Amino acid sequence: MTRLRLRTQLLIGTLLIICAWTGAILLIVRHTVRGGIARNVQAGTEASLRAFANVQHQRELELSRMAAMLAELPTLKALMTSDDPLTIQDGSEPFWKLAGSDLLVLAGPSGRILGFHVVRPGWSSRLIQEDLERSLARGEEAAWWYADGQLYWVFLRPISAGAGGELKPLGVVALGYQVDSSVAEQLSLVAGSQIALAMRDKVIASTLSSDDEDQLASWISKQGASRDTFSQPLTLGSHPYELASVSLRKSAQAPVLCYVLMPLERTNLFLQRLNRTIFVLGVSAVVFAALLLSFVSRTITRPLEDLVAGVRALASGDYGFAITPRGSSEVAELGTAFAKMRADLLESQRRRLAAERTAAVGRAAGSLSHDLRHYLSTVVANAEFLYESEKLKLDRDEVYGEIQVACSQMTDLLDSLRELSREGPAISPAPGILDDCVRRAIESVLARPELRDSSITVAASGDMAGVFDARKMQRVFFNLLLNACEACVPVESQIRVDIQSLADSFEVRITDNGSGVPVSIRASLFDPFVSAGKPNGTGMGLAIVNKIVEDHGGSVSLEASSVSGSTFVVRIPRALPQASDPLTCLPTAAQRSSLPSD
């Protein structure tokens, strides 16, 4: 699992806290605003209901007073004494106009209708008679009369003559007004909301559109007409409302309910704007907090990052990587401690390198001293033999040859030391054939008497022409083959050289069946003065190989090693990068036969 950086953890954690805190605050604000709006809607609905109740009460008082006034008119009493329906029907019209009501009914003492007038025809005397008898039986002074889709609010007053014990009932007068859309519109103006009047499950009058009115009637039918509701949201079509209801006449056989519907379009638009504002504020707060926190976290974690970089550099061996202690006191103290530790390790590393360098120089001096002393001893001894050759009857040419070989070996030793001491490349590239270079190195190795029984085979594939320093590369292969032969038993040695020509490089693999490279020196195999298992080894052979191959822009490595043998790989480019046109430097087939063989 990938571990997050400290800055990332700090940023994510703080952002989550900020988001949660900001979200909670904004939700509280939103809930508070919505609660305030709901209270305002509830207060508006209650005010609408109170306004409607006040208007209704004023109208009731007006009609009640008008009914009481008509019942006391002497002319109306005189008309009622005739007890003739036609006379009363004709004579009652002036009284109906005087009252200004939508309905006027005059009935005898028995409750039989003697005359009635109505603004909108549609009621029969039979339906009016049933409503009148029902109201008289209940002793109602005000009643709702409903039939054929028409609703009237009626007030009844008895008509009598005389006083005290001589009081004689003459009949009943009933005044009423029709509850229709005009009444609903008047109530709507007063209440400031939409109004709907319903009886049972049918809407009698409303200020709503026909579609909204049908939906309200369907809702009333599902809820039950006698159920009082208050401050309940309701959507009719695409119009949201806050609905409240009040019973206009609870004691009636069929209660009449008035529904007040306060429009919520403006409220919802305000809430939408509020939601957008809250969202923008929340996002802005999070973005600003992220930017601020990013700067703060960078300030906090930058010293730690520098310290981590210093630790990584120190782990990779870069003792010169320095950091500047900064940040909080704890982090600065940690940085100071790390800087001191790095300085101590750097000094310790310098002392160790100096000691290793001194030890290496000592080993090199001892090795060179031993080899030079051996070669000089050979030269001195053979010089004495040469001086006494006549007395000892020795072959002067043979003695001279041994002196020459010893001098040549001392020269090679000094040349190797000089080769390693050079800083830059010291090669002279020229067109050549790589497999010829390898074969000449094989001949030089097999020319040694102790290695004549070694078996070395060569396999080459592809074009062997290239640009390189043939003399130096011959020394590379000579050193590698010499090491391979010395690692094997001469009579059992099986050494194979595979040369592969690629598009722009050569790969040469030298495989032997020796005892392998010791594990202890594999990591420093190509360092100077590293040797193991050779009594007279100087440890410069592979170091010189590595130096020459790197001068050619290539590489040499130990590909595999075990108790059954080792494989070394040499990779060099076909043409050196500094050659202006390497392809033109490659020898042609006609030129290859003219190249020197030694």
Buried b / exposed e along 445-474 (16+ C-beta atoms within 10 A): bbeeeebeebebeeebeeebbbbbbbebbb
Quote the pLDDT of residue 326: 66
pLDDT exceeds 70 at position 470? yes
Quote the pLDDT of residue 317: 67
Quote the pLDDT of residue 366: 64
Quote the pLDDT of residue 428: 83
pLDDT exceeds 60 at position 468? yes
Q: Which of 88-102, 301-315, 356-370 has the lowest mean pLDDT?
A: 356-370
Mean pLDDT of all residues in 196-204: 78
Task: Please tell me which residue, 231 or 543, carries the higher pLDDT value.
Answer: 543
Between the ranges 232-241, 245-254, 505-514, where is the mean pLDDT highest? 505-514
The tens digit of pLDDT for each residue in 24-39 reads 877 887 778 767 766 7
Task: Please tell me which residue, 294 or 533, carries the higher pLDDT value.
Answer: 294
Long-range contact pairs involving 327-333 (C-beta distance under 8 Å, separation at least 24)? 327/299, 327/300, 327/302, 327/303, 328/300, 328/303, 331/303, 331/304, 331/307, 332/303
Q: Give the Cα separation of 290 and 282 in Å (integer).
A: 12
Q: Give the Cα separation of 540 and 542 in Å (integer).
A: 6
Quote the pLDDT of residue 276: 83
Backbone angles phi, psi at 456, to 5 degrees: -125, 125
Tally the residues of the chain.
598
Q: Which of 57-61, 456-460, 593-597 has the lowest mean pLDDT?
A: 593-597
pLDDT exceeds 60 at position 165? yes
Confidence of residue 436 (pLDDT cuts 50, 70, 90): very high
Confidence of residue 4 (pLDDT cuts 50, 70, 90): low
Confidence of residue 585 (pLDDT cuts 50, 70, 90): very low
Confidence of residue 284 (pLDDT cuts 50, 70, 90): confident
pLDDT exceeds 50 at position 551? yes
Confidence of residue 453 (pLDDT cuts 50, 70, 90): confident
Other C-beta atoms closer than 10 Å to the C-beta of 170 total: 21
Task: Please tell me which residue, 561 or 192, carries the higher pLDDT value.
Answer: 561
pLDDT exceeds 70 at position 557? yes
The tens digit of pLDDT for each residue in 20-79 reads 877 787 788 777 876 776 677 667 667 766 776 777 777 778 878 888 888 888 888 888
Q: Burial-class residue 54 by CB neighbours within 10 Å (0-12, 13-18, 19+).
A: exposed
Other C-beta atoms closer than 10 Å to the C-beta of 532 total: 11
SS3 at position 218: helix
Quote the pLDDT of residue 451: 83
pLDDT exceeds 70 at position 581? no
Quote the pLDDT of residue 267: 76
% of residues, the chain, pLDDT over 70: 77
Mean pLDDT of all residues in 498-502: 93
- In the chain, the domains with their CATH numbers are 72-160+167-178 (3.30.450.20), 423-592 (3.30.565.10)
Mean pLDDT of all residues in 170-179: 87
How high is the mean pLDDT of the chain? 77
Confidence of residue 593 (pLDDT cuts 50, 70, 90): very low
Q: Give the Cα separation of 437 and 435 in Å (integer).
A: 5
pLDDT exceeds 90 at position 383? no
Q: Which residues pair with 154 in a beta bridge?
A: 143, 176
pLDDT exceeds 60 at position 597? no
Confidence of residue 595 (pLDDT cuts 50, 70, 90): very low
CA angle 48, 49, 52 (to 5 degrees): 85
Confidence of residue 298 (pLDDT cuts 50, 70, 90): low
Say if CB 167 and CB 160 are below 8 A apart: yes
Quote the pLDDT of residue 331: 65
pLDDT exceeds 50 at position 590? no
pLDDT exceeds 60 at position 182? yes
Q: Give the Cα separation of 532 and 525 in Å (integer).
A: 10
Mean pLDDT of all residues in 264-273: 79
Quote the pLDDT of residue 229: 54
Quote the pLDDT of residue 38: 67
Mean pLDDT of all residues in 149-178: 84
Instruction: Mention every residue, 6+ apart, whose C-beta is less than 8 A from residue 86.
Output: none
Helical ranges in 388-469 per DSSP H: 389-392, 396-421, 434-446
